[in-house]
């Protein structure tokens, strides 16, 4: 019963190694023998989740970097190349982009846990500060990563965020120019962001090592906030904590998989599927959900410099938490007043997040101001006063004593509430008062949705006979028409379709570029050479349709976006395109077209658009007996465009089903293993 | 260590909370003996911690319980291994040629009419340079009148051209040594000469001297007509 558990290598080779580089001993003492308080609840498993997420982001990021091109002319298309052509590219990219959200979700839970149980208090101040540094690094890294796809949101996020520095007096402007490497956000900016986005995760990994080191010096805090003081207060990290962390990690991965495979764009913005355009700002720009509370604080202040300073202060103040909270009692379990204020603070953060997603106008601004003031008051007023006046409950004499008293229930409900609260904030709102597109019954909706081959073929016919004269389909290749999960043309049919198109050939002996018939490998040629030609011809630039269904959408509003999380409704884009195609009407009385050659549409933001009503009953002849009503044509072409926007959707949902089933079974096994491992501990106080 | 054993006195007496850190960290050098009584005997996997003097020995678990527990552990471990292996599949296959690269590697057709006798042209197929050599009568004769058995990589010229088209020599222009592109019409055989390490090929593209081990490889191709070939 005595003697510290040390690593005793049995094998001669390991002994030899241990005498020279005791790495096995270090791993053993850190992750095997390391004593961990026996009363840790599931909120303590997020450290493991975070370590996994960091590794996952680095691995998928390194892989994506093999296919991505950091150049303003190619970045957007190279991301689409990953989505469409690279083997499992869609999976890797969705894991990476949703992984960022999961990473932040886990980090925020981890931090709130630390706040609730007072994990930042003596002797864990440095541990906590390292955590705040990690958050800051994550924020910077996540922002730079968001810029890389070079969509509209990327570009304008880069512009807005770098412009924060212009608030600094005197040196502000030079700093911004320095950050850009130019006079506006451009290619140099993209290149350096790419470089730094690749570098920073390794810096994060380095700080994580310090974070874990500090943790192992001070030891883990625990839900009771009393230090372990007898043998029965702790259990060995392996197997007890390992199996528990492992079980919860798999549960967390099931949530992650839900997003990756079924709602991969739920947390993103449709606008980021529009290539960056320095001359047009999107109607309503919002950052990713995990920045929304800070964004709300920025906008709450009517002064430019003040807003920037407060935004910075909102993060920096966290580092001072160990000294602002004067109470010597750690856990909120024994601090009834603090417990109340903790939840109030939590709700304030959620409220700030929600306000950050709303337009900065009217009542939202005032609400954001109140919430901002409360955010800072929590740290600067409430915590210091509480430490003075609060009467804590009696602490248990030991962890063991506490465990034997409690049932050990876990607040899973709180987790679910928090999840929906934090995640649900992402939907952007559209400012214009337009009608909500009616929901259609798409065959490709839901977890088992598949495209209807006949419908895709009909829709392709509509595209070719109607849309094609003005709208390109530049990301789609003719070979895609014959690929599984698509309209189901044979290779020969697709080649015959390709041959009807002309694309520029290689320069001949004389250096002349002539046209040749397209082949399977070619992509659909554009209907016009450049935007100016399009403007001269059509009085507008008709958007490319390759991604139109993913690049459009509408705000679902509360509470629908919460339900969507469970029903997997994500066909806003398809509903919108169909509604637009069929939504032409005479303008209401008194509403005048702003310019000649524009047409009134119920669903178009701003109502007047340059596209004349494209579809009418019988405009196309169908050979499969389907009645070619205008509505049917719109449905068919929308389904075709939905496929064109996401050609691997069927493969994604199929794999998703397998992955989720696997994770559930695995979680079940881990749960029983965990129960078995912990049985003896729980039985014997 | 005495104060650690003294009973805890209530909420406001917070001094004992600041106890000795529960463990020496990985880098801490605290002697094991000092903290020994705090954290003795960390249990091995699957073994209950034997605190409070109770000694639950693994041996006391019945054999049936043992098997069931072992099965659970093995099943869980196997499941984890399968998951990890499956996760490797996308990470590995993403490095294989992507769909656009494969599609771009489709067969190409080459018109032979502009190629003069004695001229060698270079075309690209799947990113590889291909030589198309319109051989002269003399070159063909030289290529055919060789003691095949004496060659490092014995192969008759007839096996390296299409029947009835022996004036057309189509080769993958990649040296079989380490991948450089040989220069046409050079070297003692009026064939190909690789400048990198001096491999010499004859007019049939067979290795004659130098470090390259094999003859120049032939791409898959066929004559669509007398003056047109399809490579690939
Ligand atoms: S590569 Fe041609 S001789 Fe070495």
A630-639 pLDDT tens trace: 999 999 999 9
pLDDT at A683: 65
| Cα(A563)–Cα(A75) distance, integer angstroms | 34
Q: Is residue B218 part of a domain?
A: yes
Domain boundary among B58, B76, B96: B96
Write the CB contacts of A630 (distance below 8 Å, at least 6 apart in sequence).
A582, A615, A616, A617, A619
| pLDDT for A532 beyond 70 | yes
In our burial notation (b when 16+ CB lie closer than 10 A, e otherwise), range A459-498 reads bbbbbbebbbebbbbbbbbbbbbbbebbbbbeeeebbebb
Query: What residue's CA is closest to ligand 1, atom 3?
Result: B197
- Higher per-residue pLDDT: A415 or A556: A556
Pocket mutation for ligand 1, best pick of B212, B213, B217 (most atoms within 8 Å of C-beta): B212
pLDDT class of B66 with cuts at 50, 70, 90 = low
Give the nearest partner residue to B28 out of A66, A217, A246, using CB atoms.
A217
How far is residue A108 from each of residues A47, A246, A293, A423, A613, measured CA to CA in Å? 11, 20, 12, 12, 48
Domain that holds residue B157: 108-231
Q: Is residue B80 part of a domain?
A: yes
Find the DSSP H helices in A357-452: 363-377, 383-389, 399-405, 412-423
Q: For A298-312, what is each residue's pLDDT tens digit?
A: 999 999 999 999 999
B194 by Cβ neighbours in 10 Å (0-12 / 13-18 / 19+) ranks as buried
User: pTM of whole model > 0.90?
Assistant: no
pLDDT at A632: 95
Are B112 and B92 part of one and the same domain? no
pLDDT class of A153 with cuts at 50, 70, 90 = very high
| Cα(A657)–Cα(A448) distance, integer angstroms | 8
Which of A28-37, A95-104, A558-567 shows the lowest mean pLDDT across its residues? A558-567
Q: Is residue B145 part of a domain?
A: yes
Q: Is residue B103 part of a domain?
A: no
Provide the phi-psi class of A303: left if phi over 0, else alpha when psi is between -120 and 50, else beta: beta
pLDDT at B94: 96
- Higher per-residue pLDDT: A412 or B177: B177
Q: Which residues of B touch A6 (CB under 8 A)?
A: 32
pLDDT class of A206 with cuts at 50, 70, 90 = very high
| Cα(A668)–Cα(A671) distance, integer angstroms | 5
pLDDT class of B68 with cuts at 50, 70, 90 = low
pLDDT class of A231 with cuts at 50, 70, 90 = confident
Between chains, do A395 and B52 touch, taking CB under 8 Å as contact? no
pLDDT at A594: 82
Residue A599 and residue A551 in contact, taking contact as beta carbons nearer than 8 Å = no
Minimal Cα–Cα distance from B120 to chain A, Å? 16
Pocket mutation for ligand 1, best pick of B172, B199, B214 (most atoms within 8 Å of C-beta): B199
pLDDT at A483: 94
Find the DSSP H helices in A301-398: 304-319, 321-324, 336-356, 363-377, 383-389
Between chains, do A218 and B46 touch, taking CB under 8 Å as contact? no
pLDDT at A562: 86
- Higher per-residue pLDDT: A9 or A416: A9
Are B201 and B123 part of one and the same domain? yes
Average pLDDT over residues B19-39: 38
pLDDT at A413: 55
Going by C-alpha positions, the residue among A506, A485, A423 that lies closest to residue B108 is A506
| Cα(A415)–Cα(A423) distance, integer angstroms | 12
pLDDT at B32: 37
pLDDT at A330: 94
pLDDT at B36: 34
Tell me how long chain A is: 685
Write the CB contacts of A303 (distance below 8 Å, at least 6 apart in sequence).
none
Q: Is residue B223 part of a domain?
A: yes
Are B124 and B210 part of one and the same domain? yes
| Cα(B49)–Cα(A5) distance, integer angstroms | 13
pLDDT class of A113 with cuts at 50, 70, 90 = very high
* Whether B29 contacts chain A with CB within 8 A: no
* Whether B26 contacts chain A with CB within 8 A: yes
Q: For A320-350, what is each residue's pLDDT tens digit?
A: 999 999 999 999 999 999 999 999 999 999 9
| pLDDT for A43 beyond 70 | yes
Between chains, do A2 and B46 touch, taking CB under 8 Å as contact? no
Q: Is residue B112 part of a domain?
A: yes
CA of residue A676 relative to chain centroid, distance = 36
Q: Is residue B201 part of a domain?
A: yes
pLDDT at A284: 81
Between chains, do A230 and B43 touch, taking CB under 8 Å as contact? no
Are B127 and B65 part of one and the same domain? no
Domain boundary among B56, B71, B96: B96
Minimal Cα–Cα distance from A125 to chain B, Å? 13
Percent of chain A with pLDDT over 70: 94
| pLDDT for A44 beyond 50 | yes
| Cα(A636)–Cα(A581) distance, integer angstroms | 11
Query: What residue's CA is closest to ligand 1, atom 1?
Result: B178
Sign of the C-alpha dihedral, residues A312, A314, A317, A319?
A: negative
CA B196 to ligand 1 center in whole angstroms: 5
pLDDT class of A283 with cuts at 50, 70, 90 = confident
How far is residue B124 from each of residues A506, A515, A563, A636, B219, measured CA to CA in Å? 12, 20, 55, 41, 11
pLDDT class of A7 with cuts at 50, 70, 90 = confident
Q: Which residues of B touch A672 (CB under 8 A)?
A: 72
Q: Which of A34-43, A201-210, B156-165, B219-228 has the highest mean pLDDT?
A: A201-210
CATH number at B190 reads 2.102.10.10
Q: Is B214 in the pocket of ligand 1 (CB under 6 A)?
A: no
Q: What is the mean pLDDT of chain B?
A: 77
Q: Is residue B177 part of a domain?
A: yes
pLDDT at A591: 85
| pLDDT for A410 beyond 50 | no
Q: Which residues of B touch A652 (CB under 8 A)?
A: none
Write the CB contacts of A483 (distance below 8 Å, at least 6 apart in sequence).
A647, B99
Are B88 and B125 part of one and the same domain? no
Are B73 and B130 part of one and the same domain? no
Residue B169 and residue B205 in contact, taking contact as beta carbons nearer than 8 Å = yes
pLDDT at A466: 94
Are B218 and B116 part of one and the same domain? yes
Q: Is B199 in the pocket of ligand 1 (CB under 6 A)?
A: yes
| Active-site annotation holds for B197 | yes
pLDDT class of B34 with cuts at 50, 70, 90 = very low
CA B193 to ligand 1 center in whole angstroms: 9
Average pLDDT over residues B92-120: 92
pLDDT at A684: 60
Cis peptide before A239 (omega within 30 of 0): yes
pLDDT at A411: 52
How many domains is chain B partitioned into structurally?
Answer: 2
A246, closest residue in chain B (CA to CA): B80
For residue B169, give the H/E element and its range: strand B168-172
Percent of chain A with pLDDT over 90: 76
pLDDT at A682: 74
Are B120 and B84 part of one and the same domain? no
Q: For B168-182, what is each residue's pLDDT tens digit?
A: 999 999 999 999 999
Are B172 and B82 part of one and the same domain? no
| pLDDT for B80 beyond 80 | yes
| pLDDT for A554 beyond 90 | no
Between chains, do A666 and B80 touch, taking CB under 8 Å as contact? yes
Domain boundary among B28, B62, B96: B96
Are B113 and B215 part of one and the same domain? yes
At residue A517, φ and ψ (nearest 5 deg) are -65, 145
pLDDT at A595: 81
Which of A170-179, A281-290, A427-436 shows the lowest mean pLDDT across its residues? A427-436
Average pLDDT over residues A126-155: 97
Q: DSSP string spanning B29-78?
A: ---HHHHTTTS--PPPTT-----TT----GGGS-HHHHHHHHHHHHHHHH
pLDDT class of A186 with cuts at 50, 70, 90 = very high
| pLDDT for A645 beyond 50 | yes
Are B83 and B137 part of one and the same domain? no
CA B194 to ligand 1 center in whole angstroms: 6
pLDDT at A414: 57
pLDDT class of B49 with cuts at 50, 70, 90 = very low
* Whether B6 contacts chain A with CB within 8 A: no
Are B91 and B164 part of one and the same domain? no
pLDDT at A397: 86
Residue A213 and residue B25 in contact, taking contact as beta carbons nearer than 8 Å = yes
Find the DSSP H helices in A260-320: 292-300, 304-319
With both helix axes pointing from N to C terminus, report the angle between A242-257 and A89-116 in degrees, rounded to the nearest 10.
Answer: 130
Q: What is the mean pLDDT of chain A?
A: 91
């Amino acid at each position: 019963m005595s003697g510290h558990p040390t690593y005793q290598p049995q094998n001669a080779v390991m002994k030899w190694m241990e005498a020279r580089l005791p790495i096995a001993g270090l791993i053993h003492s850190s992750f095997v023998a390391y004593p961990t308080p026996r009363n840790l609840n599931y909120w303590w498993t997020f450290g493991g989740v975070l370590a996994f997420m960091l590794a996952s982001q680095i691995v998928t990021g390194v892989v994506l970097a093999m296919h991505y091109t950091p150049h303003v002319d190619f970045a957007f298309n190279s991301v689409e190349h990953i989505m469409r052509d690279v083997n499992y590219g869609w999976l890797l990219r969705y894991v990476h982009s949703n992984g960022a959200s999961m990473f932040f979700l886990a980090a925020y839970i981890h931090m709130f846990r630390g706040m609730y149980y007072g994990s930042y208090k003596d002797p864990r101040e440095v541990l906590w500060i390292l955590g705040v540094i990690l958050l800051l690094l994550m924020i910077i890294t996540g922002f730079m990563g968001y810029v890389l796809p070079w969509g509209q949101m990327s570009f304008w996020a880069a512009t807005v965020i770098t412009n924060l520095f212009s608030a600094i007096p005197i040196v502000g402007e030079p700093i911004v120019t320095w950050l850009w490497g130019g006079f506006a956000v451009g290619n140099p900016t993209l290149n350096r962001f790419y470089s730094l986005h690749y570098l920073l995760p390794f810096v994060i990994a380095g700080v994580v090592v310090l974070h874990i080191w500090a943790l192992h010096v001070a030891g883990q805090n625990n839900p009771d906030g009393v230090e372990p003081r007898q043998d029965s207060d702790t259990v060995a990290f392996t197997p007890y904590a390992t199996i528990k962390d492992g079980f919860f990690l798999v549960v967390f991965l099931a949530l992650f998989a839900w997003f990756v495979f079924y709602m991969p764009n739920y947390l993103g913005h449709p606008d980021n599927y529009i290539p960056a355009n320095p001359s047009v700002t999107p109607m309503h720009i919002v950052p990713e959900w995990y920045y929304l509370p800070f964004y709300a604080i920025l906008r709450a202040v009517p002064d430019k410099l003040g807003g920037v300073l407060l935004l910075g202060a909102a993060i920096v103040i966290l580092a001072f938490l160990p000294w602002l909270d004067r109470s010597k009692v750690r856990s909120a379990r024994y601090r009834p007043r603090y417990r109340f204020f903790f939840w109030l603070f939590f709700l304030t953060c959620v409220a700030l997040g929600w306000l950050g997603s709303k337009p900065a106008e009217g009542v939202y601004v005032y609400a954001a101001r109140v919430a901002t003031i409360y955010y800072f008051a929590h740290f600067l007023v409430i915590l210091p006063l509480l430490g003075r006046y609060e009467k804590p409950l009696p602490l248990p004499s030991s962890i063991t004593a506490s465990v034997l008293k409690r049932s050990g229930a876990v607040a899973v409900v709180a987790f679910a509430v928090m999840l929906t609260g934090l995640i649900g904030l992402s939907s952007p709102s559209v400012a214009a008062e337009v009608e909500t597109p009616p929901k259609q019954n798409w065959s490709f909706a839901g977890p088992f949705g598949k495209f209807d081959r006949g419908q895709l073929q009909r829709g392709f016919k509509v595209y070719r006979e109607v849309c094609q004269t003005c709208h390109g389909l530049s990301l789609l290749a003719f070979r895609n028409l014959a690929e599984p999960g698509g309209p189901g043309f044979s290779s020969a049919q697709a080649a015959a379709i390709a041959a009807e198109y002309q694309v520029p050939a290689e320069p001949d002996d004389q250096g002349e570029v002539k046209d040749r018939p397209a082949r399977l490998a070619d992509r659909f040629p554009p209907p016009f050479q450049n935007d100016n030609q399009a403007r001269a011809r059509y009085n507008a630039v008709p958007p490319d349709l390759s991604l139109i269904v993913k690049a459009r959408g509408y705000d679902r509003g509360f509470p629908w976006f919460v339900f969507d999380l469970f029903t997997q409704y994500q066909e806003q884009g398809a509903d919108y395109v169909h509604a637009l195609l069929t939504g032409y009407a005479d303008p209401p009385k008194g509403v005048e077209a702003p310019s000649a050659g524009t047409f009134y549409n119920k669903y178009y933001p701003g109502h007047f658009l340059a596209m004349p009503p494209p579809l009418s009953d019988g405009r196309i002849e169908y050979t499969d007996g389907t009645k070619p009503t205008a509505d049917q044509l719109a449905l068919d072409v929308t389904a075709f465009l939905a496929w064109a926007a996401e050609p691997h959707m069927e493969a994604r949902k199929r794999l998703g089903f397998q992955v989720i089933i696997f994770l559930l079974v695995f979680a079940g096994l881990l749960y029983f293993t965990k129960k078995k491992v912990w049985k003896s501990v729980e039985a014997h106080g | 260590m005495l104060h650690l054993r003294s009973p805890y006195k209530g909420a406001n007496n917070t001094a004992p909370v600041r106890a000795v850190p529960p463990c020496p960290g990985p880098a801490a050098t605290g002697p094991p003996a000092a903290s020994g009584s705090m954290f003795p005997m960390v249990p091995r996997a699957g073994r209950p911690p034997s605190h409070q003097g109770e000694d639950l020995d693994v041996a006391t678990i019945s054999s049936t319980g043992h098997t069931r527990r072992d099965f659970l552990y093995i099943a869980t471990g196997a499941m984890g291994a399968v998951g990890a292996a499956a996760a490797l599949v996308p990470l590995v296959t993403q490095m294989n040629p992507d769909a656009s690269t494969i599609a771009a590697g489709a067969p190409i057709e080459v018109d032979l009419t502009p190629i003069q006798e004695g001229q060698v042209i270079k075309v690209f197929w799947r990113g590889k340079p291909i030589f198309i050599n319109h051989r002269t009568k003399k070159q063909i004769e030289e290529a055919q009148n060789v003691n095949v058995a004496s060659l490092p990589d014995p192969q008759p010229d007839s096996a390296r051209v299409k029947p009835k088209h022996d004036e057309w020599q189509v080769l993958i222009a990649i040296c079989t040594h380490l991948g450089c592109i040989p220069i046409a019409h050079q070297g003692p055989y009026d064939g190909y000469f690789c400048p990198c390490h001096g491999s010499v090929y004859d007019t049939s593209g067979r290795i004659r001297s130098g470090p390259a081990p094999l003859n120049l490889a032939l791409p898959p191709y066929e004559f669509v007509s007398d003056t047109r070939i399809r490579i690939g």
